[in-house]
Chains A and B, each alone.
Chain A
Amino acid sequence: MAPFIRLRSISKHFVDVVAVDDLSLDIEKGELFCLLGASGCGKSTLLRLLAGFESPTKGVIEIDGQDMGGVAPANRPVNFMFQNYALFPHMSVTDNIGYGLRRAGMRGTELAERVDSLLKLVRLHELGGRKPHQLSGGQRQRVALARALARRPKLLLLDEPLAALDKKLREDTQFELVDIQEKLGTTFIVVTHDQEEAMTLAGRIGIMDAGQLVQVDAPRRLYERPKSSFVADFLGTISFVDAVVASCDKTSITIGGDLNICAACDDDLPVGAAVKLAIRPEKIYLSRTKSGNVNEIEVVVEDLAYLGFATNYRVKTASGQMFKLQQQQRRSLDAPLSWGETGYVHFDPQDVIVLQD
């Protein structure tokens, strides 16, 4: 079966910028897909191309097997939820939600019932008579969602749906959004620059940079097994070690020099090849005394930040290699290492990511 959404070699050029550059992507029906990237990476443009507000300079967009070339936004089985919600300020919540339904010719009790069920879906059934300016940020977000879902689109596009909410509210709303998506089974494409949001929401994430998709994968794979140092660095915190392969036997590689690190590896790498090793901070263990583990290195504490639930460290080896690591405070009476103290770090070879770019 053909994928539900198919982008084939899409490019979008504005006067002097290439916003989307020869991008191809398939999305399955019912998926919650996140486009993640820094501002200006082309993710919003891609969303507007899908909505039909812009047309691609090159390439084909297919939705549910139908070529979208020349199809106006109103005639696509797609609705859009805007970043600042774009509610109609002079209309009540009910009229906002009913706007698209009226355009589709729905009137009377049918209209009232549909609007009512949408209000219930987003838990706003008592606020139908309010104007947008009489609502809180979170309520406005829910009106925008209900309005975008009113015409029962096959695909819902959400541009930074939670960016305008404060942190606490954002966390609750994330789960609510996922619940609604699962209940309706509508395909969602969410654009965001917030990686935590993308990780929470998405089944799959596409990371964009300079108009191209760098990697498309499930959140866990993107974090644990990034394919490039860009993705590794973009998602969360990571320490890089520039290294040269000293030996490789298809299951592990060793690098020489002043640091002797062992890493798990599926690829056959020639001896002498330049690689980049990357290690996540929570995968690095810090101790006061030598433990005798593999990949143990003596370090000096350069910097630390106490976060309550954990402490972030920046440690330095004798050769000047920096590691960023995070240590959980499991026992509150542990005496942590302090500035300038010497300790030992170690990490599992399985947790070392080998990058070849």
Chain B
Amino acid sequence: MGRMNGLVLSLGALGFGILYLPIIIMVIFSFNAGKLVSVWSGASLKWYAGLLKNDQLLSAFGTSLLIAVWAATIATIFGICIAVAFVRFGNFRSRLALSAIASAPLVMPEIVTGLSMLLLFISMESLFGWPSGRGVDTIIIAHATFGMCFAAVVIQARLRDFDMAIEEAAADLGATQPFIFLSITLPVIAPAVVAAWLLAFTLSFDDLVIASFVSGPGSSTLPIVIFSKVRLGVTPEINALATVMIVVVAAAVIGASWAIRRRLSSRDQNQ
């Protein structure tokens, strides 16, 4: 038993080490005073201070945030529609086709999604003049498109567990279908909707491949800027930026799971 535990522990430590050691090293070197990324020469916050003065990075951060919020919102709305169609409408015609279409982007190589999006936008522009060139709007559309598949999966799982009797009770008490959805269904599945939004948000926020295909001048997202900077060599400034990104994403995820956990535990305690 003891030997078993030792083996499990060391395998676990190895696994987590491979996952997180590089990140930890990167975070540590973001506080390096020297210019070299692999030689430690004292602690400093100067790279973080430098970030605040770098207008290019700040505007890319703003662009990424704007795109991620819009893309996540659109993806969640469409994700709800897809989930409702699959869970509630039973065996409608072309169900199989729709389910294939809706889940294809989950397994599609991003490079294919990005390229096909680019070709779509170009031919749309030549056919009816919209979108004129590529920019923030085309990235939002592309991110919303692949984000909604993930959102649909998350919401579908919750909707499948949904006790239909609750909706029937509302109907029995005189509520109409749209009102039932807004007053009963949506509040009950709200944690899944929030989780879906956060998932779509993070997917959009750190996407590089698709964004590089469909972005245009003046719409560089943060990953695009970082990637182009890294090609000129990794600087401690990039380390600092990546550390900030980790903090933002981790805060969002921890906040969401804390909110959901608190809901659940207050439910358990009182049962």
Contacts and interface: CB of A to CB of B under 8 A. Distances in A.
B170 interface: yes
B172 interface: yes
Interface of B: 163, 165-166, 168-176, 179, 184, 187-188, 190, 266-267, 270-271
B169 A151 contact: no
Interface stretch (A77-85, A110-118, A226-234): A77-85
Interface residues of A, number: 27
Contact of A86 (B163, B176, B187, B267): B163
A103 B175 contact: yes
B271 A133 contact: yes
B131 to A, nearest CB: 40
Nearest to B174: A103
Given A82-B168, A88-B184, 13 more contacts: A73-B172, A74-B172, A80-B169, A80-B172, A87-B166, A88-B169, A99-B175, A100-B173, A103-B173, A103-B174, A103-B175, A104-B174, A135-B270
A90 interface: yes
Interface string A34-47: 00000000000000
A151 B165 contact: no
B176 A74 contact: yes
A145 B267 CA distance: 22
A316 interface: no
20 contacts: A74-B171, A74-B172, A74-B173, A74-B176, A78-B172, A79-B173, A82-B165, A87-B169, A88-B166, A88-B170, A89-B166, A90-B187, A90-B190, A100-B172, A103-B174, A103-B175, A134-B270, A148-B172, A150-B173, A151-B174
List the 8 closest pairs (A to B, CB-CB), nearest first: A100-B173, A103-B174, A86-B165, A86-B169, A134-B270, A133-B267, A74-B174, A90-B187
Contacts of A87: 166, 169
Nearest to A76: B172
A232 B267 CA distance: 45
Contacts of B187: 90
A70 to B, nearest CB: 15
Given A90-B188, A133-B267, A134-B270, A73 B171 contact: yes
Nearest to A150: B173
B214 to A, nearest CB: 39
B270 A133 contact: yes
A37 B169 CA distance: 24
A16 to B, nearest CB: 15
Contacts of B168: 53, 73, 80, 82, 86
Contact of A84 (B165, B174, B188): B165
B262 to A, nearest CB: 13
A80 B184 CA distance: 17
A147 interface: yes
Nearest to A144: B169
Given A88-B184, A133-B270, A99 B170 contact: yes
Given A51-B172, A88-B170, A104-B174, A83 B271 contact: no
A148 B266 CA distance: 27
A79 B168 CA distance: 11
A135 B173 CA distance: 22
A175 B267 CA distance: 30
Most chain B CB within a 10 A radius of its CB, from A74, A78, A151: A74
Nearest to B164: A86
A86 B179 CA distance: 17
Contacts of B165: 82-84, 86
Interface string A217-258: 000000000000000000000000000000000000000000
A74 B271 CA distance: 32
B172 A84 contact: no
Contacts of B163: 84, 86
Nearest to B179: A103
B59 to A, nearest CB: 41
A169 to B, nearest CB: 15
A83 B168 CA distance: 12
A291 to B, nearest CB: 57
Nearest to B171: A73
Contacts of A51: 172
Contacts of B271: 133
A133 B263 CA distance: 11
Contacts of B171: 53, 72-74
Interface in A46-85: 51, 53, 72-74, 78-80, 82-84
